[in-house]
Chain A
Amino acid sequence: DVKVTQSSRYLVKRTGEKVFLECVQDMDHENMFWYRQDPGLGLRLIYFSYDVKMKEKGDIPEGYSVSREKKERFSLILESASTNQTSMYLCASTNPGTLPDTQYFGPGTRLTVL
Chain B
Amino acid sequence: AQRVTQPEKLLSVFKGAPVELKCNYSYSGSPELFWYVQYSRQRLQLLLRHISRESIKGFTADLNKGETSFHLKKPFAQEEDSAMYYCALTGRGRDDKIIFGKGTRLHILP
| Separation of A100 and B95 alpha carbons in the complex (Å) | 9
Residue of B nearest to A99 (CB): B51
User: Which chain A residues border B45 with CB–CB below 8 Å?
Assistant: 105
C-alpha gap A36/B67 in the complex (Å): 30
CA A84 – CA B108 in complex, angstroms?
32
B43: chain A residues within 8 A (beta carbon): 105-108
Q: Is the interface of A mostly helix, strand, loop or mixed?
A: loop
Contacts A99-B51, A102-B34, A105-B45 given; does A43 touch B100 at CB 8 Å: yes
CA distance A96 to B9 in the complex (A): 31
Closest CB in chain A relative to B58 CB, distance in Å: 20
Interface residues on chain B, number (Cβ under 8 Å): 24
How distant is the Cα of A41 from the Cα of B101 in the complex, in angstroms?
Answer: 8
Chain A, Cβ-Cβ closest to B99: A45
B106 to chain A, nearest CB (A): 15
User: Which residue from B34, B36, B95, B102 sits with its C-beta under 8 Å from A96?
Assistant: B95
A-chain residues with CB within 8 Å of residue B103 when the two chains form the complex: 42-43
Q: How far is it, in angstroms, between the C-alpha of A33 and the C-alpha of B91 when the chains are bound?
A: 16
Asked if A61 is at the interface of the complex by the 8 Å CB criterion, the answer is no
- In the assembled complex, which residues on chain A have CB atoms less than 8 Å from the CB atom of B96? 100
Kindly list 15 other residue pairs between chains A and B, CB separation below 8 angstroms, not including A50-B95, A99-B92, A108-B43: A31-B95, A35-B100, A40-B102, A41-B102, A42-B86, A43-B86, A43-B103, A92-B44, A96-B95, A99-B32, A100-B32, A100-B98, A105-B43, A105-B44, A106-B43
Q: Which residues of A line the B interface, CB within 8 A?
A: 31, 33, 35, 40-43, 45, 48, 50, 58, 90, 92, 96, 99-100, 102-103, 105-108
26 cross-chain CB contacts under 8 A: A40-B102, A41-B102, A42-B6, A42-B100, A42-B103, A43-B44, A43-B86, A43-B100, A43-B103, A45-B97, A50-B95, A58-B97, A90-B44, A92-B44, A96-B94, A96-B95, A99-B32, A100-B32, A100-B98, A102-B34, A102-B46, A105-B43, A105-B44, A105-B45, A107-B43, A108-B44
